[in-house]
Structure 1
Amino acid sequence: MRARLPPCPCCAGPDPGRRALLRGALGLGTGLACAAAGGGAALAQATAGAARRLLIHRMQTGETFDDIYWRDGRYDREALTRLDWLFRDPAREEATPMDPRLFDVLYIVAHEMDATEAFQVISGYRSPETNAARARESRRVSRASLHMSGMAADVRLPGRDSFGMARLAAEMQVGGVGLYRRDGFVHLDCGPARRW
């Protein structure tokens, strides 16, 4: 049984519903006011104060991450540094500080799917040069991609339906969700809630 999130003081109404509470828990979609008012603590309460662990496998490099990135009410800097490198642009061996809210999106999606598999990361950070080259190759690549800001990842979960993952993430409205069925992956980001 999944834990129920406590009401966020800045969400409208006495019971704003699961989606608004998830947005508040991650500090997404409702802006900084929600996070400042305590919405960020709701995720920890929803998982009984548990630390947040991610399982990541970077497809291009074969590198993995299986560790806690958030504990005792804060992000672990060493873990975030390792994740920044893992999510780097492998074409240029260039990393950027990833937005930790992206890791929260991945965490809550895995948590809601009861996933024990590692996310396979197809694309994380993209340098402007790499993104421009990809955009020239495909109309599906945005020239203003959140990948360039360290706010997006293209992922899949082995043995899991990409459509089901995209639908769940879109229902939670914790950021952008793009389903790429032909390629078998889902774009997740910590930007505004939208879907394609």
Structure 2
Amino acid sequence: MLGCPCCDSAGRRSLLRGALGLGLACAAAPAPAQILGGAPRRIAIQRLQTGESFDGIYWQDGRYDREALQQLDWVLRDPSMEEATPMDPRLFDVLAAVAQRMEASEGYEVVSGYRAPETNAARARESRRVSRASLHMSGMAADVRLIGRESMGMARLAAEMQIGGVGLYRRDGFVHLDCGPARRW
């Protein structure tokens, strides 16, 4: 019988080494907020399915603008369910940081934002490429195109930045960006 990794000393040491390694990895990667600095943060997005858009400042004077976040939540809602959820504001920081590094003045086209669990489950049944534990269901991910930019270049730059998850869907012409742990596929 295996012991609990938190209770036996060998497991505890292994767990602590793993936590330390994760902490060092996180400390080494810059947070999107560090990249963006203290200036007002702006984002421009258009939801392809609805035609709705947001173009404005979502963070200034050291805090997120609650009204702007509510507008972004609605634009990024699950259009098949007409269901919105509070999106993680760090996602907007990731999007803004990538656009800034690409020196893009154009906005994002959003292919997919928040997904209700039912929508995600239906998509997972249709395609092996859809995770059953997708961060889209937590309001932490968006599948996007940056107008006028190659998806491969955007994915490569975002992966180098190590500020969240990056998935390149070359055939479909979009990039998955999220504010979860840095990883790529």
TM-score, structure 1 normalization: 0.79
Please give the residue correspondences for 1:40-79 in structure 2 after superposition, counting only pairs within 5 Å: 40=33, 42-45=34-37, 49-79=38-68
Gaps of at least 5 residues in structure 2 are 1-22
Could you tell me how far 1:122 is from its partner in structure 2?
A: 0.3
- Verify: 1:22 aligned to 2:58, yes or no: no
Gaps of at least 5 residues in structure 1 are 1-10, 27-39
2:173 & 2:29 partners in 1: Cα distance? 29
Alignment RMSD (CA, Å): 1.7
Cross-structure match for 1:101: 90
Residue identity matched to 1:162: S
Give the total of aligned pairs: 162
- SS at structure 1 position matched to 2:55: strand
Contact persistence 2:114–2:138 (CA under 8 A): yes
Bigger radius of gyration, 1 or 2? 2
- Verify: 1:179 aligned to 2:185, yes or no: no
- Verify: 1:147 aligned to 2:109, yes or no: no
- SS at structure 2 position matched to 1:160: coil
Cross-structure match for 1:114: 103
Cross-structure match for 2:69: 80
Contact persistence 2:29–2:163 (CA under 8 A): no
4+ runs of 1 displaced by more than 3 Å?
A: 42-45
Contact persistence 1:44–1:73 (CA under 8 A): no
